[in-house]
Structure 1
Amino acid sequence: MAERDEALLDRVRAMERAIGEIGTTLDETSTCRELAGFLARLLGGSVAVDLFAWQGGPARRAAAAGPVGTGRGMSPEPYGPHTTPDSAPAPAIGPAPAIGPGAAPAPAIGPGAAPGPEGAEPGPAHVLTAPLAVDDEKPLGEVTAARTGRAPFTVDEAAVLRHAARLAARHIGHARRLAATEDTALHLQRALVAEPGRPHPNLEIAGGYLPAGPRALVGGDWFETVRLHFGRTLLVVGDVMGHGLDAAVDMNAYRTVLREVAATDLPPHRVLRHLDSVVAEDDARRPATCLLVRVDPARGAATFASAGHLPPAVFGADGSAELVDLPVGPPLGTGVGGYEPTTRPLTPAETLLLFTDGLVERRSEDIDVSLARLAALRLPPDPGPGQVVDEVLRRLGAHRAEDDVAVLAARVRARHTT
């Protein structure tokens, strides 16, 4: 009885170790490698993990650990231990067999089966398998363990293998669902940012959006242009707090409301005030920062209003940069209001740059230092919107930024007189 109690205690300890060692990342290949490595150490043999193809077709070998041979002789009996005759060679975990979800297992290894590793000791070969599945969910793959020259797999070892397989399946499923959500959010973000409103022909614009890496959760960064009366254009850049699909959806809601409010031709600070009050009524909406700039080419002026957003920069004809000094109100969604306008000249020789904080902010760095880095840039003379966007993104290392980056540049087109 004491021996059985010790065996059960060993099983519990092994399961606890599995929880700590399997699924440490959101990468399914890493999870498969962790599963294979854990079982190889625990069971003292070879372990292979095969993942089924998403759209059918043969499985792929995702990971293997332990003494791996070159043959294809890995044809275990599912869900339990299996022992080959004493005369059979040791099993070799080779390339993944052509199996798929719901496929029947291949015949068990017997005399004359594919050879095992060169120099393997003769003796019974024991094979153990389990599906990568959680309860009644569709299996994502299969894990196979094999060893030779030792006692058959015990019931406790089989239980730990099934537990580890279920644990890995849970992590892989989470990783795949997260990847699908990220992909949806990223496509939504790019679709929205890629098609801003149409400015007046007297304004030249360029924009860009960069997510913070392929596996980072997409944020709520966005930009927009709204065509107004009398040749004016409203430029907008905003950043919804947080990341993921919810942030992208809220970003679209902000953008929709802003278009409706801006169509009333209110000055920028009143647009922000109205937008703030509308959003504050919906508790489900996330707060957001926003910067509005109404450009009036006929008067050669730009009027600014900020809701918790970083100031824009203006690049002169000599390529030097200047940050616009303007009052900053609270973020949108607070219901506090208090937004003030600032107007300054804007000539055809100057290019205005609006951006989200991901362009300049760096971890453990004061924001004033980050903004000073932007202000210190010296671009080639007479930079247009496209060149400003490209140069700023490159020189500030935006492709390696820790957060999403959205930028919008604009320049008044010079009027040619005859």
Structure 2
Amino acid sequence: LDLQRALVAEPGRPHPNLEIASRYLPAGARALVGGDWFETVRLHFGRTLLVVGDVMGHGLEAAVDMNAYRSLLRDVASTDLAPHRVLRQLDALSAADDNRRPATCLIVRVDPARGLAVYASAGHLPPAVFTADGQGELLEVPVGPPLGTGVGGYESVVLPITAAQTILLYTDGLVERRGEDIDTSLSRLATLRMTTGAGVSEVVDAVCAGLDAQHAEDDVAVLAARLRPRLPS
């Protein structure tokens, strides 16, 4: 239980210009964590890095590797590289360790001052965005190989972000169902409808309830973020 509390801690503090909500749900009645994780890292100029990752496999070994990936991420992110270059560094460092399990990872660098979000993916499922009227959509992000393969080849995509949108990052346990095509699973997420004006925590609650995350067959990690509206000067 102590290990669980230490490894699945709340993500780091983002800049005050972002509202954050997160959720971790272990599959079934298992007490130990697996390889799912999330993190936020403060960067310069009011920017924040949002990260969700998933180490392949389950049990204590996956949890240990998960913590190693989180530690590497914090170190690499402190150099303020672009998201695709952060993934490149993580991949190279992880590939150098023969005992490290591969992992998927999705990184988003949010820049509230410029109203931009930069996305990069290492084998991870696409992020979703929900608007103020409750509509949702999946974002098209170039997908590179999982971390730890040493292959590299990551790309970033820059998309606008406003205070009316909520970015949702998640691990595959949220959407995947046994015997179901992944496109069908992702479509179920995209067609969820939020209550108009729902807060960030309410969006996370609605997504977990709408996809029955409590009864998922795999661990579920969810991280949501929204820009705080600027107060008139």
Residue 131 (structure 2) pairs with residue 332 (structure 1): no
The answer to whether residue 54 in structure 2 is matched with residue 233 in structure 1 is: no
1:379 aligns with 2:194: yes
1:358 to 173, 181, 184: 173
- Superposition deviation, residue 189 in structure 1: 3.8
- How many angstroms apart in 2 are the aligned matches of 1:189 and 1:365? 30
Q: Which of 283, 288, 294 matches 2:98?
A: 283
Matched, 1:243 2:42: no
* Residue matched to 2:219: 404
- Please show how residues 133-172 of structure 1 align to structure 2 within 5 Å: none
1:395 is displaced (CA, Å) by 0.9
Deviation of 1:192 (Å): 2.8
Listed as ranges, the matches of 1:182-193 within 5 Å are 184=1, 187-193=2-8
Give distance in 1, aligned partners of 2:215 and 2:83.
33
Q: Which residue of 2 aligns with 1:45?
A: none
Say which of 259, 271, 274 aligns to 2:86.
Answer: 271
**Shift in Å, 1:368:** 0.4
Give the Cα–Cα distance (whole angstroms) in 1 for the partners of residues 167 and 104 of structure 2: 19
CA distance in 2, matches of 1:295, 1:308: 20
Alignment correspondent of 1:416: 231
Deviation of 1:322 after TM superposition, in Å, equals 0.7
Shift of 1:217: 6.0
1:36-185 equivalence runs, <5 A: 184=1
What is the root-mean-square deviation in Å for CA atoms of aligned residues? 1.1
Counterpart CA distance in 2 for 1:369 and 1:376 is 11
Percent identity of equivalent pairs: 74
Deviations 1:25-47 (A, max 9, x none): xxxxxxxxxxxxxxxxxxxxxxx
1:218 is aligned to 2:42: no
**What are the superposed Cα offsets for residues 62-92 of structure 1, whole Å, 9 maximum, x if unpaired?**
xxxxxxxxxxxxxxxxxxxxxxxxxxxxxxx
Alignment of 1:323 with 2:138, yes or no, is yes
Q: Is the Cα contact below 8 Å between 1:193 and 1:224 reproduced in 2?
A: no
Q: TM-score, normalised by structure 1?
A: 0.55
Per the TM alignment, residue 385 of structure 1 is displaced from its structure 2 partner at its CA by 1.3
Q: Show structure 2 runs of 5+ residues with no match.
A: none
Secondary structure at the counterpart of residue 79 of structure 2:
coil
Deviations 1:243-283 (A, max 9, x none): 01111010000000110000000000000000000000000
For residues 285-304 of structure 1, the aligned pairs below 5 Å read: 285-304=100-119
Q: Cα distance 1:379–1:264, how it changes in 2: closer, same or farther (>3 A)?
A: same
* 1:173-214 alpha-carbon deviations (Å, 9 max, x no partner): xxxxxxxxxxx5xx4344333321110000000000000011
Structure 1, unaligned runs of 5 or more: 1-183
Instruction: Please list every run of at least 4 consecutive aligned residues from structure 1 whose deviation after the TM superposition is greater than 2 angstroms.
Output: 187-195, 215-218
